[in-house]
Chains A and B, each alone.
Chain A
């Protein structure tokens, strides 16, 4: 059964880069969000069992999404894909419950490595 996957980023190019980097043959059903509010809505609608999440977004940023997931006990496996690579950013997202952090620009290799690391493939 296809895993509901959400790609959340305000940049069209970044969303395309994530999609192009997904492993071939991975059984997912993809949705998109352009900001944190849309991401939270998607989780509630059951479309984000898995999420690739950007940090720098308008309206509600990635940190805000992770905090909401934590506060409300929502269900979503989040992998952050971000340009915010400072050491403390990675610590913060992990404390907020993100599974992992991928540094932008994303690549098929980086994505595959992360998914395999968590036994998701």
Chain B
């Protein structure tokens, strides 16, 4: 099963996600003009069978709003470019609180901004450390997610390998939690794994 990483690879990926999360956190802090507390990101790997059940906890309660950041990664010179998607999920109360904090009326625009900042920076940070060029594409609104199966069914591709990163940024006095789900085609995951191995 390609979603199996060795313990060393997993530890390495955890650290890379930590660094990438720090970079996204920095952009978030600047965007919100507020100190952002970082947590240790919780990472989980899923294949197509376990994905829907695996990510369900991110969506249960309270209801969650999501945006998707499309991206492509290249496997080096002459390598085929592969497309992936990063879904950013924000619990509705957290989004409402952010809206009040920033005094903005357009919730959709806010969510899209958060999606491109968080997913974009995270992907850039990850790509930089792995020396894999990752180019962000469009960010789209997915809206309030009623159930994960419907959400996954509406995506253009069936993803074989998924990396779920549960990020927990906290603003002092305001709980702001968000989830990040990185959907990668199998080949991209295998490539990522080989790069991880090289770092060990």
Contacts and interface: CB of A to CB of B under 8 A. Distances in A.
A81 to B, nearest CB: 11
A55 B19 CA distance: 11
B11 A13 contact: yes
B166 to A, nearest CB: 14
A58 interface: yes
B25 interface: yes
Q: Which of B14, B19, B200 lies at the interface centre, i.e. has the most chain A CB atoms within 10 A of its CB?
A: B19
A70 B68 CA distance: 44
B12 interface: yes
Interface stretch (A25-33, A45-53, A83-91, A110-118): A83-91
Contact of B15 (A14, A87, A92): A14
A102 to B, nearest CB: 12
B29 A87 contact: yes
B77 interface: no
A56 interface: yes
Nearest to B28: A86
B40 interface: yes
B39 A56 contact: yes
Interface string B15-32: 100111111011001100
Contacts, number: 58
B129 interface: yes
The SS class assigned to the B binding surface is: helix
Interface string A66-105: 0000000000000000111111110010000000000011
Contacts of B36: 86
Contacts of A84: 22, 25, 38
B31 to A, nearest CB: 11
Contacts of A57: 40
Contact of B25 (A12, A13, A14, A86): A86
Contact of A11 (B11, B22, B25, B35): B11
A88 B38 contact: no
A10 interface: yes
Given A55-B38, A85-B26, 5 more contacts: A14-B18, A58-B40, A85-B22, A104-B22, A105-B129
17 contacts: A10-B40, A11-B18, A12-B11, A13-B11, A13-B199, A13-B200, A14-B18, A56-B18, A56-B22, A57-B40, A82-B22, A83-B22, A84-B25, A86-B26, A86-B35, A88-B35, A104-B19
